[in-house]
Amino acid sequence: MKVLMLGGCHTYAYGSENISKGYYQQFLRFLNLNGYEIEEISYAPISVRGVNRLFNQKNIIPNDYDLIILQLGNYEFDSSISNFHKLFTSEKKKNSIEGGEFNQPLNEQLITKRRSWIKNEKIDTPTKSLLKRKFSSLLSVSARIFRFFSELPKIRIEKQYIEDLFDALQIVSDKVIFIGVFPSTYGLRQYIRSVGNSYIKNKCENVGISYLELIDINDPSIWIHDGAHFNEGGHEIILDRLLRLCGEKFQLKKLNM
Protein backbone atom coordinates (compact mmCIF):
# COMPACT_ATOMS: atom_id res chain seq x y z
CA MET A 1 0.00 0.00 0.00
CA LYS A 2 1.39 3.40 -1.00
CA VAL A 3 0.59 6.02 1.64
CA LEU A 4 0.98 9.77 1.22
CA MET A 5 0.88 11.96 4.33
CA LEU A 6 0.66 15.75 4.04
CA GLY A 7 0.30 17.38 7.40
CA GLY A 8 1.44 19.52 10.27
CA CYS A 9 4.02 18.94 12.97
CA HIS A 10 1.96 16.20 14.65
CA THR A 11 2.93 14.05 11.65
CA TYR A 12 6.32 13.51 13.28
CA ALA A 13 4.81 13.13 16.78
CA TYR A 14 5.21 16.73 17.90
CA GLY A 15 4.02 17.01 21.50
CA SER A 16 4.91 13.42 22.29
CA GLU A 17 8.15 12.68 24.12
CA ASN A 18 8.37 9.33 22.35
CA ILE A 19 8.13 9.46 18.57
CA SER A 20 6.71 5.93 18.50
CA LYS A 21 3.65 7.27 20.35
CA GLY A 22 2.70 9.66 17.56
CA TYR A 23 -0.70 8.92 16.03
CA TYR A 24 0.67 8.58 12.51
CA GLN A 25 3.54 6.28 13.51
CA GLN A 26 1.10 4.05 15.42
CA PHE A 27 -1.34 4.07 12.50
CA LEU A 28 1.34 2.81 10.12
CA ARG A 29 2.15 0.01 12.58
CA PHE A 30 -1.51 -1.00 12.65
CA LEU A 31 -1.48 -1.25 8.87
CA ASN A 32 1.62 -3.44 9.04
CA LEU A 33 0.09 -5.67 11.72
CA ASN A 34 -2.94 -6.12 9.51
CA GLY A 35 -0.83 -7.48 6.67
CA TYR A 36 -0.23 -4.36 4.60
CA GLU A 37 3.22 -3.74 3.14
CA ILE A 38 3.64 0.00 3.43
CA GLU A 39 5.48 2.33 1.08
CA GLU A 40 5.18 5.71 2.75
CA ILE A 41 6.12 9.30 2.00
CA SER A 42 5.29 12.32 4.14
CA TYR A 43 5.76 16.07 4.02
CA ALA A 44 5.49 18.06 7.27
CA PRO A 45 4.91 20.68 8.37
CA ILE A 46 3.29 21.92 5.20
CA SER A 47 0.47 24.33 4.43
CA VAL A 48 -2.40 24.05 1.97
CA ARG A 49 -0.55 26.45 -0.29
CA GLY A 50 2.54 24.23 -0.07
CA VAL A 51 0.51 21.14 -0.99
CA ASN A 52 -0.97 22.94 -3.98
CA ARG A 53 2.54 23.80 -5.12
CA LEU A 54 3.62 20.15 -4.87
CA PHE A 55 0.61 19.10 -6.93
CA ASN A 56 1.02 21.84 -9.52
CA GLN A 57 4.71 21.14 -10.03
CA LYS A 58 3.95 17.42 -10.39
CA ASN A 59 6.23 16.62 -7.44
CA ILE A 60 3.32 14.54 -6.20
CA ILE A 61 0.68 12.85 -8.35
CA PRO A 62 -2.29 11.91 -6.13
CA ASN A 63 -3.35 9.02 -8.36
CA ASP A 64 -0.08 7.24 -7.57
CA TYR A 65 -1.20 6.52 -3.99
CA ASP A 66 -3.64 4.08 -2.39
CA LEU A 67 -4.23 6.24 0.68
CA ILE A 68 -3.78 9.98 1.10
CA ILE A 69 -3.96 11.44 4.60
CA LEU A 70 -4.21 15.22 4.96
CA GLN A 71 -3.84 16.99 8.28
CA LEU A 72 -4.19 20.61 7.26
CA GLY A 73 -5.95 23.79 8.31
CA ASN A 74 -4.30 24.68 11.62
CA TYR A 75 -1.87 27.06 9.93
CA GLU A 76 -4.51 28.49 7.60
CA PHE A 77 -7.19 29.05 10.22
CA ASP A 78 -5.18 30.25 13.14
CA SER A 79 -4.55 33.41 15.08
CA SER A 80 -2.82 34.26 18.31
CA ILE A 81 -2.57 37.49 20.21
CA SER A 82 0.68 38.35 18.42
CA ASN A 83 -0.79 38.00 14.91
CA PHE A 84 -4.38 39.11 15.53
CA HIS A 85 -3.96 41.98 13.07
CA LYS A 86 -3.23 39.51 10.26
CA LEU A 87 -6.88 38.44 10.28
CA PHE A 88 -7.78 41.82 8.82
CA THR A 89 -5.20 42.03 6.06
CA SER A 90 -5.23 40.68 2.53
CA GLU A 91 -1.46 40.23 2.56
CA LYS A 92 -0.27 37.07 0.79
CA LYS A 93 3.15 36.82 2.37
CA LYS A 94 5.01 33.61 1.65
CA ASN A 95 5.71 31.55 4.76
CA SER A 96 8.62 29.18 5.36
CA ILE A 97 6.33 26.15 5.61
CA GLU A 98 5.22 26.73 2.02
CA GLY A 99 8.58 26.20 0.39
CA GLY A 100 12.25 25.54 0.83
CA GLU A 101 13.20 22.60 3.01
CA PHE A 102 9.57 21.97 3.92
CA ASN A 103 8.87 20.81 0.39
CA GLN A 104 11.21 17.88 1.00
CA PRO A 105 9.84 14.50 2.11
CA LEU A 106 10.60 13.66 5.73
CA ASN A 107 13.57 11.52 6.61
CA GLU A 108 15.13 10.59 9.96
CA GLN A 109 17.46 13.60 9.97
CA LEU A 110 14.67 16.11 9.26
CA ILE A 111 12.40 14.54 11.88
CA THR A 112 15.14 14.76 14.52
CA LYS A 113 15.77 18.40 13.63
CA ARG A 114 12.10 19.40 13.73
CA ARG A 115 11.34 17.53 16.92
CA SER A 116 14.11 19.54 18.59
CA TRP A 117 11.83 22.57 18.33
CA ILE A 118 9.81 21.13 21.22
CA LYS A 119 12.75 21.48 23.61
CA ASN A 120 13.59 25.01 22.46
CA GLU A 121 10.14 26.54 22.90
CA LYS A 122 9.72 29.17 25.58
CA ILE A 123 7.10 28.31 28.18
CA ASP A 124 4.99 31.10 29.71
CA THR A 125 4.61 31.44 33.46
CA PRO A 126 1.16 30.39 34.79
CA THR A 127 0.21 34.04 35.38
CA LYS A 128 1.26 35.16 31.91
CA SER A 129 -0.51 32.18 30.35
CA LEU A 130 -3.75 33.02 32.19
CA LEU A 131 -3.59 36.67 31.10
CA LYS A 132 -2.97 35.65 27.48
CA ARG A 133 -6.00 33.33 27.57
CA LYS A 134 -8.21 36.08 28.98
CA PHE A 135 -7.04 38.57 26.37
CA SER A 136 -7.44 35.96 23.64
CA SER A 137 -11.07 35.51 24.65
CA LEU A 138 -11.65 39.26 24.29
CA LEU A 139 -10.06 39.27 20.85
CA SER A 140 -12.29 36.39 19.77
CA VAL A 141 -15.30 38.60 20.51
CA SER A 142 -13.84 41.28 18.22
CA ALA A 143 -13.33 38.74 15.45
CA ARG A 144 -16.91 37.48 15.81
CA ILE A 145 -18.34 41.01 15.66
CA PHE A 146 -16.31 41.86 12.55
CA ARG A 147 -17.51 38.71 10.84
CA PHE A 148 -21.13 39.80 11.26
CA PHE A 149 -20.43 42.58 8.77
CA SER A 150 -17.77 41.14 6.50
CA GLU A 151 -15.76 37.96 6.19
CA LEU A 152 -12.30 38.22 7.71
CA PRO A 153 -9.85 38.92 4.84
CA LYS A 154 -7.33 36.26 5.90
CA ILE A 155 -10.05 33.60 5.99
CA ARG A 156 -11.29 34.65 2.56
CA ILE A 157 -7.77 34.23 1.13
CA GLU A 158 -7.19 30.85 2.76
CA LYS A 159 -10.52 29.57 1.48
CA GLN A 160 -9.34 30.16 -2.08
CA TYR A 161 -6.26 28.01 -1.52
CA ILE A 162 -8.49 25.31 -0.04
CA GLU A 163 -10.78 25.53 -3.09
CA ASP A 164 -7.75 24.86 -5.29
CA LEU A 165 -6.76 21.89 -3.12
CA PHE A 166 -10.17 20.28 -3.37
CA ASP A 167 -10.23 20.77 -7.13
CA ALA A 168 -7.10 18.59 -7.27
CA LEU A 169 -8.49 15.99 -4.84
CA GLN A 170 -11.86 15.38 -6.51
CA ILE A 171 -10.55 12.66 -8.80
CA VAL A 172 -9.09 10.70 -5.85
CA SER A 173 -11.71 11.53 -3.22
CA ASP A 174 -12.28 7.86 -2.34
CA LYS A 175 -8.60 7.54 -1.33
CA VAL A 176 -8.45 10.60 0.91
CA ILE A 177 -8.84 11.02 4.67
CA PHE A 178 -8.84 14.61 5.87
CA ILE A 179 -7.91 15.03 9.54
CA GLY A 180 -9.66 18.17 10.70
CA VAL A 181 -8.54 21.34 12.39
CA PHE A 182 -7.26 20.92 15.95
CA PRO A 183 -8.99 22.65 18.87
CA SER A 184 -7.23 25.12 21.18
CA THR A 185 -7.54 26.35 24.75
CA TYR A 186 -7.24 29.97 23.57
CA GLY A 187 -10.52 31.72 22.74
CA LEU A 188 -9.40 33.57 19.60
CA ARG A 189 -7.55 30.58 18.16
CA GLN A 190 -10.47 28.26 18.93
CA TYR A 191 -12.97 30.57 17.25
CA ILE A 192 -10.93 30.96 14.04
CA ARG A 193 -10.19 27.24 13.89
CA SER A 194 -13.89 26.47 14.37
CA VAL A 195 -14.73 28.67 11.36
CA GLY A 196 -12.13 26.82 9.31
CA ASN A 197 -13.28 23.43 10.54
CA SER A 198 -16.85 24.01 9.39
CA TYR A 199 -15.68 25.18 5.98
CA ILE A 200 -13.32 22.24 5.37
CA LYS A 201 -15.84 19.71 6.69
CA ASN A 202 -18.48 20.98 4.25
CA LYS A 203 -15.99 20.82 1.38
CA CYS A 204 -15.18 17.20 2.24
CA GLU A 205 -18.85 16.25 2.36
CA ASN A 206 -19.48 17.89 -1.00
CA VAL A 207 -16.79 15.88 -2.81
CA GLY A 208 -17.08 12.62 -0.85
CA ILE A 209 -13.86 12.82 1.19
CA SER A 210 -13.78 11.10 4.59
CA TYR A 211 -13.45 13.72 7.32
CA LEU A 212 -12.07 13.11 10.81
CA GLU A 213 -13.30 15.81 13.17
CA LEU A 214 -11.24 16.92 16.16
CA ILE A 215 -12.52 20.41 16.98
CA ASP A 216 -14.98 18.99 19.54
CA ILE A 217 -12.24 17.63 21.83
CA ASN A 218 -12.36 19.48 25.15
CA ASP A 219 -10.06 17.61 27.49
CA PRO A 220 -7.57 19.91 29.29
CA SER A 221 -5.19 17.01 29.90
CA ILE A 222 -4.32 16.41 26.24
CA TRP A 223 -2.53 19.68 25.38
CA ILE A 224 1.08 20.65 25.80
CA HIS A 225 1.91 24.03 27.36
CA ASP A 226 0.96 26.16 24.34
CA GLY A 227 -2.68 25.10 24.34
CA ALA A 228 -2.57 24.45 20.59
CA HIS A 229 -0.72 21.13 20.17
CA PHE A 230 -1.55 17.68 21.54
CA ASN A 231 0.54 15.58 23.90
CA GLU A 232 0.66 11.76 23.81
CA GLY A 233 -2.90 11.58 25.16
CA GLY A 234 -4.07 13.75 22.28
CA HIS A 235 -2.23 11.58 19.78
CA GLU A 236 -4.09 8.55 21.21
CA ILE A 237 -7.43 10.26 20.60
CA ILE A 238 -6.53 11.00 16.97
CA LEU A 239 -5.37 7.40 16.50
CA ASP A 240 -8.57 5.98 17.96
CA ARG A 241 -10.77 8.13 15.72
CA LEU A 242 -8.60 7.41 12.69
CA LEU A 243 -8.81 3.65 13.24
CA ARG A 244 -12.57 3.80 13.64
CA LEU A 245 -12.87 5.84 10.44
CA CYS A 246 -10.63 3.41 8.55
CA GLY A 247 -12.00 0.24 10.17
CA GLU A 248 -14.45 -0.69 7.45
CA LYS A 249 -12.35 0.65 4.60
CA PHE A 250 -9.32 -1.48 5.42
CA GLN A 251 -10.97 -4.07 7.68
CA LEU A 252 -8.56 -3.14 10.45
CA LYS A 253 -8.63 -5.11 13.67
CA LYS A 254 -7.71 -3.68 17.06
CA LEU A 255 -4.38 -5.36 17.77
CA ASN A 256 -2.03 -4.94 20.67
CA MET A 257 1.27 -3.27 19.82
Q: First and final CA of the chain: distance in angstroms?
A: 20
- Gap between the Cα atoms of 22 and 132, Å rounded: 28
Q: What is the pLDDT of residues 49-82, one digit of tens each?
A: 889 999 988 878 889 999 999 999 888 887 554 5
User: In sequence order, what E strands does the chain have?
Assistant: 2-7, 39-43, 67-71, 176-179, 210-212
Q: What is the model's pTM? A: 0.82
Which residue ranges make up each domain of the chain? 2-250
Question: How far apart, in whole angstroms, are the C-alpha atoms of residue 116 and residue 13?
Answer: 11
Closest CA to 207 of 174, 237, 230: 174
Least confident of 89-93, 113-117, 159-163: 89-93
- Classify 2-250 by CATH class: alpha beta
Position 123 pLDDT exceeds 70: no
